[in-house]
Amino acid sequence: MSARLCVLVSGSGTILEALVDQGVAIALVGADRPCRGLEVARAAGIEALLVARADYGAFGAQFDRDRYSSDLAGELTSRDIDVVAMAGFGTIITAAFHDAFPGRVLNTHPSLLPDFKGWHAVGQALAAGVSETGCTVHVATLALDDGPILAQRRVVVKNDDDESSLHERIKAVERELYPAVVTRVMAALSEGRDISSVIREMEDV
């Protein structure tokens, strides 16, 4: 039986659009706030689910992260989701979510991990004066921007780059790499294999 994929979004949904455009089978799109990504899902005929942070304390110190993570996991498991791909999802989720999808939460990050973790990776790369950076697709864990690396692509840093121009070129690569990795992961799961097998397969992508 084919693996069922949920894509989690928080913003414009450009990575989601890339997944849709490249024919990735998406069973569900979830979001933590009203956003264009939900509209992208509906336009593509994909179920769109809003589990709003506003109902859990919003974005301040009162945000109940554990309850949010648990409820989000419950919504996905009730829909028989097998694997989750974060695509610009802006909420850090806790063990309650990862326990529901052990080793089956994917993420894409705009750097060559383990370098430049966190929300400002592109700016950090520029500040460090590196000659190249890129994007990484990895298995997400409780540690931010950690976990087994599935694939990476390199992007040259140009002398006249600012954060915006560099980030746009990274996104262009990301929109090709992420769908390729997600497709391989879903195929592996559908065949009863572990996601770790995809690491070897991605060498030719």
- Annotated catalytic residue within 109, 120, 138, 167: 109
177 with 135: CB under 8 angstroms?
Answer: yes
| 109 tagged catalytic | yes
Burial class (CB within 10 angstroms; exposed 0-12, middle 13-18, buried 19+) of 35:
middle
Say how many Å lie between the first and final Cα of the chain, rounded. Answer: 25
Angle at 64 between CA 62 and CA 68, to 5 degrees: 145
Distance CA 205, CA 202 (A): 5
Active site residues: 109
